[in-house]
Amino acid sequence: MIVLPCTLPLAFVIVPLSMGKGIKKGLGIAVSFALGITLTLSLYGIIAALVGRFAIDSLAVPLETIKNWVYFVAGVFALLFALGEVGLLKFRMPSYTGAVPAFIQRQQDFLKAFFLGLFLGNIGVGCPHPATPLILIEIASSGDVLYGWLLFFVHAIGRVLPLIFLAILGILGVNGLSWLVTRKDKVERATGWAMVFVAGFILTLGLFSHKWWVNSGIHTQLEKITQEETLLNIVRENLNSTVTHAHGIEIGTGLFGLPLWLGNWFMVTVWIIPIWWWWFRKKKDIKIINDSSVIPEKGAEEQVLSSNKYLLLAITALLALVFLYVLPRNFVYEQTVSPHEHAPGTPVEHPHDEDMMDGGQAHSSPYHEENEVTDGLVVNLLADASRVVGATSSLQFFVNEKPAGMAVDDLELERGKYIHIIGVRDDLSQFFHIHPDKISPGLWEVDHIFTESGVYKVWSDVTQGGIAHSFGHPVFAVSSSTSSASSTPLSISFAKNIVLGDYQVAISYPEPIVVGRDTNIDFAVKDVIGQGVILEPYLGATAHLAVIKDDLTVYLHTHPEEHGGLMEETNYLHESLRFIPQALAHGMEEGTPIIPASQISFNVNFPKAGIYKMFLQFRPEGIELPKDQSLVGEVYVSVFKSGPAYPSLASVEEDDHSEDPPLSKPVLVFLSLVIMAFLGRAVYKFIQIKK
């Protein structure tokens, strides 16, 4: 950030303070000044953490939405400052003008330098540089004061190191500022144009969200350039963890309901408009030159402007080609033609089957709606017309053999229970997991209190003869005392992780998720400082996962892939999963060993395309909840038929594994011509300068 016009003046403070004082004293003054700046800047980390904690605890707005608004506002101001720097607007960045309080001026050298650092440390905080909003948002999303202070403290050290370097040069008699002073206008102009591009990106990121950033193709291309995957693999091998960063095609909208595909077009437009705005303004300025007095000057200006037009056309075409076609198309091509696969040896789960592990044996799990069963085992939900919010409702289930309807009593224990009942409201909220007790041959009953009115559906899981069965039951209504039950609209939020209270949980899976393909779903559970937590067994397993389609036509219930009782550790970033400590388990077995875990892995095969909601049930050790309850993490995922396409691009089918490059030959030729024109213009300008 040292070259920004709002922070560069700091160099003109620290260098004169240090020069002529000798090496020891001069260096001490420079360090004192830098220490003051660092302490002031680190306070912003504390403030950001406190504000973030308040937002997380008090506001009903998703954290991701808050992030987008911060990016949006920062992008607007950054763009205004940038346009001011390139001379298109009269809107300049705040900068240091040289005024210092008299109290500071009266101090001795070291104290004066330190207090100056404290006072001037605020300079540059509001600069439209991506580092500041990115770091502040990261701090705010954690809500951790120590983490916030430390993160901005380290960033402050990065800011002051160039200043100390310039001060050392001054102490040694080398004026490191002379180069900057003689090129001040060029540096400011170059910085201004760089800021135009940075501001356009930040503004687009705010309007269209991180999901656009993933879909744009810029994110993954940048990771290739920085070799992030290689570095993460080194970390994985040395720390014995799993890969912690993966991307897939995102769906959803940005602020104001903006479609994600529009993001690249918006960003390129924000970049191109200032370029041509500058060109037309320059053309207008040339026209007002007096023809009679400065004809040679006007002709030279017109010639330069005319040649610049072709350069700007080449830049415009290059930006449009790269950011509107090449990067998005490459991203979709990689995600759909070469989808991520599981590690060899991963257990397979078939549609409508669940991995019900018992003594190392997997059992198939046929799924049926109860009204479709005419022969064989079935569980029927008995009608009850008196289900009211806040009152105890009795749910009765009759286990019988069709067609005779004979009671069945030879059910087998599965995860410590004979029957598991899982239910949701039709908007996929109000999740519960309960267990009935046997009251007569084949008849099971459980009491449940509904807290919200609406339309509900429940499923029952039973095991007989080593085979696990799942039955879907007809929907029923729950009324309130003031109004009748009604269906509620589905509210969908695709989020992958959260910091909530004393825990942080993240979900990771290869994308896109495709129908009929085995998919590893990983949940990471850690404490606020990123350490793996110990999970208490919940109904004989580390965790339970219920997967339900948005139209309630698909139901899956599965358990983690456990290897010797221990789970591998991993580390995740955090955005926003939602917890509801609401699922009743009605009992937990005593004496079951505690399993240390920070990652819970499931294998799921989705039988239909559409939107699903996954409910993760788990109990961290020491959680202050009754033993018959668990935390429930809820997250939505999208499942595609054969690999989705970014809305503005052509679809790539799942079985298309051709080796042809993602760019056609005409496009490659056009790209080559644009690059040749750009380089040709650069060489021509270089030759003209030499002449």
Contact indicator for 315, 275 with CB cutoff of 8 Å = yes
Instruction: Give residue 618's pLDDT.
Output: 84
Instruction: Give yes or no for residue 126 having a pLDDT over 80.
Output: no
Structural domain spans, the chain: 8-311
How many Cβ atoms are within 10 Å of 566's Cβ, its own excluded?
11
For 493-525, how does the pLDDT look when each residue is reduced to its tens digit (9 = 90+)?
A: 677 776 666 777 788 888 788 888 888 888 888
Instruction: Give residue 459's pLDDT.
Output: 93
3-state helix, strand, coil in the chain (%, to 5): 40, 20, 35
Residues 149-171: what's their mean pLDDT? 86
pLDDT band at 60 (very low <50, low <70, confident <90, very high): low
DSSP string, 230-290: HHHHHHHHHHT-----------SB-GGG-BTTHHHHHHHHHHHHHHHHHHHHHHHHHHTS-
Residues 548-577: what's their mean pLDDT? 60
Contact indicator for 577, 498 with CB cutoff of 8 Å = yes
Instruction: Give residue 378's pLDDT.
Output: 93
Helices (H), strands (E): how many in the chain?
A: 15, 26
Q: Which residue has the higher pLDDT, 246 or 619?
A: 619
Residues 578-594: what's their mean pLDDT? 44
Residue type at 82 in one-letter notation:
A
Residues 264-277: what's their mean pLDDT? 93
pLDDT band at 266 (very low <50, low <70, confident <90, very high): very high
The closest alpha carbon to 417, from 659, 680, 129, 628, belongs to: 628
Output b/e per residue, 379-413; b: 16+ Cβ within 10 A: bbbeeeeebebeeebebebbbbbeeeeeebeebee
Instruction: Give residue 265's pLDDT.
Output: 93
pLDDT band at 391 (very low <50, low <70, confident <90, very high): confident
Instruction: Give residue 83's pLDDT.
Output: 87
For 39-59, how does the pLDDT look when each residue is reduced to its tens digit (9 = 90+)?
A: 888 888 888 888 877 776 666
| Spatial distance between the Cα atoms of 53 and 142, rounded to a whole number of angstroms | 7
Instruction: Give residue 634's pLDDT.
Output: 85
Instruction: Give yes or no for residue 481 having a pLDDT over 80.
Output: no
Instruction: Give residue 159's pLDDT.
Output: 83
Instruction: Give residue 633's pLDDT.
Output: 82
The closest alpha carbon to 461, from 453, 473, 469, belongs to: 469
Q: Which of 68-72, 462-466, 687-691 has the highest mean pLDDT?
A: 462-466
| Spatial distance between the Cα atoms of 154 and 151, rounded to a whole number of angstroms | 5
What pTM value is reported for the model?
0.48
pLDDT band at 652 (very low <50, low <70, confident <90, very high): very low
Instruction: Give residue 297's pLDDT.
Output: 64
Angle at 161 between CA 155 and CA 166, to 5 degrees: 150
Q: How many Cα atoms are found within 13 Å in the side-chain-facing hemisphere of 497?
A: 25
The closest alpha carbon to 412, from 355, 363, 339, belongs to: 363
For 544-585, where are the E strands, in sequence order?
A: 544-549, 555-558, 578-579, 583-584
For 73-103, how does the pLDDT look when each residue is reduced to its tens digit (9 = 90+)?
A: 878 888 888 888 788 887 665 555 555 556 6
Instruction: Give residue 472's pLDDT.
Output: 92
| Spatial distance between the Cα atoms of 469 and 633, rounded to a whole number of angstroms | 25
Residues 307-323: what's their mean pLDDT? 87
Q: What is the DSSP letter of 346?
A: P
Q: Which residue has the higher pLDDT, 168 or 583?
A: 168
Residues 533-549: what's their mean pLDDT? 85
Instruction: Give residue 646's pLDDT.
Output: 39
Q: Which of 30-39, 274-283, 441-450, 656-665 has the lowest mean pLDDT?
A: 656-665
Residues 269-298: what's their mean pLDDT? 78
For 419-434, how does the pLDDT look when each residue is reduced to its tens digit (9 = 90+)?
A: 999 999 988 888 999 9
Instruction: Give yes or no for residue 412 having a pLDDT over 60.
Output: yes
Average pLDDT of the chain, as a whole number: 75
Instruction: Give yes or no for residue 615 having a pLDDT over 70.
Output: yes
How much of the chain, in percent, has pLDDT values that exceed 90? 10
Q: Which residue has the higher pLDDT, 601 or 663?
A: 601
pLDDT band at 342 (very low <50, low <70, confident <90, very high): very low
Instruction: Give yes or no for residue 25 having a pLDDT over 80.
Output: yes
pLDDT band at 362 (very low <50, low <70, confident <90, very high): very low
Instruction: Give residue 77's pLDDT.
Output: 81
